[in-house]
Amino acid sequence: MTKVGFVRHGVTRWNKEGRAQGSSDIPLDEEGLEQACSLAAWMEIDDWDVVYASDLLRAEQTAEVLNEKLGKQLHLDSRLREVGGGLIEGTTEEERVQTWGPDWRELDMLFEPQDSIIARGISFMEEIIDKHHDQNVLVVSHGSFIKHLLNVLIPGSDMNESLKNTSLTSLVKCEHGWDCHLYNCTEHLIKGDSLKMY
């Protein structure tokens, strides 16, 4: 049985300012590093065999904090990057309205196409299944990318809730596809390291 755990990176200054990050390379802020430390303290070392992360700094930093405890192989993979935000990266909603008007969503903002997002996500997952059959794989990535991928891996699941920073979502490969065993879990931010993951 193969298990894949998806972690959204810790919080950044742009998150707090409401700025679209996309493929911009923004570091974690102090709270984001603390969130990653809380998640690391909550995790069990034996639950994970290998760690993958987006090569964007905020995900890489989160993965490095987790891996300080887990002590596994850490692989950076550009396929795990956030959905490209095109022209809106670095802007707030207020700035977008000022620049392009209230109907800016109807304009071509040069977002990454849906088929590109899914293609790189599925390519990654197929490689994981091939390389890490019957292992537990931890993946540190980005909110929008993870949500796109989840809705393809588990059709009809309607997992549209915004993923919280350092949330953990866990999928298990089964005969008919994937089952979700844990979704958008942030108990580590509420109760510290007193709980085991399952």
Task: Kindly indicate the confidence band of residue 194, based on its pLDDT and cuts at 50, 70 and 90.
Answer: very low
Which of helix, strand or coil describes residue 33? helix
- For the question of residue 82 being annotated catalytic, the response is yes
What does residue 89 show for φ and ψ, rounded to 5 degrees?
A: -60, 135
Pick the CATH number of 3-191 from 3.40.50.300, 3.40.50.2300, 3.30.450.20, 3.40.50.1240: 3.40.50.1240
- For the question of residue 9 being annotated catalytic, the response is yes
pLDDT on residue 107: 97
pLDDT on residue 160: 78
The CA-atom distances, in angstroms, between 188 and each of 34, 60, 126, 184 are: 11, 20, 30, 11
Contacts of 33 (CB under 8 A, 6+ apart): 10, 61, 65
pLDDT in tens, 110-150: 999 999 999 999 999 999 999 999 999 999 999 999 999 99
- Tell whether 8 is in a known binding site: yes
pLDDT on residue 193: 41
Q: Is the pLDDT of residue 192 over 80?
A: no
Q: What is the 3-state secondary structure (H, E, C) of 143-185?
A: HHHHHHHHHHHCCCCCCCCCCCCCCEEEEEEECCEEEEEEEEE
Rounded to an integer, the average pLDDT of 41-47 is: 86
Annotated active-site residue in 60, 82, 89, 112: 82
pLDDT in tens, 145-174: 999 999 999 988 777 789 999 999 999 999
Rounded to an integer, the average pLDDT of 55-80 is: 96
What does residue 7 show for φ and ψ, rounded to 5 degrees?
A: -115, 130
pLDDT on residue 191: 60
Answer for the pair 180, 170: CB distance below 8 angstroms, yes or no: yes
pLDDT in tens, 5-26: 999 999 999 999 999 999 999 9
- Tell whether 11 is in a known binding site: yes
Annotated active-site residue in 9, 60, 89, 142: 9
- Quote the CA–CA distance of 88 and 104 in Å, as a whole number: 10
- Tell whether 81 is in a known binding site: no
pLDDT on residue 45: 77
Would you tell me how many other CB atoms lie within 10 Å of the CB of residue 124? 19
Would you tell me how many other CB atoms lie within 10 Å of the CB of residue 51? 22
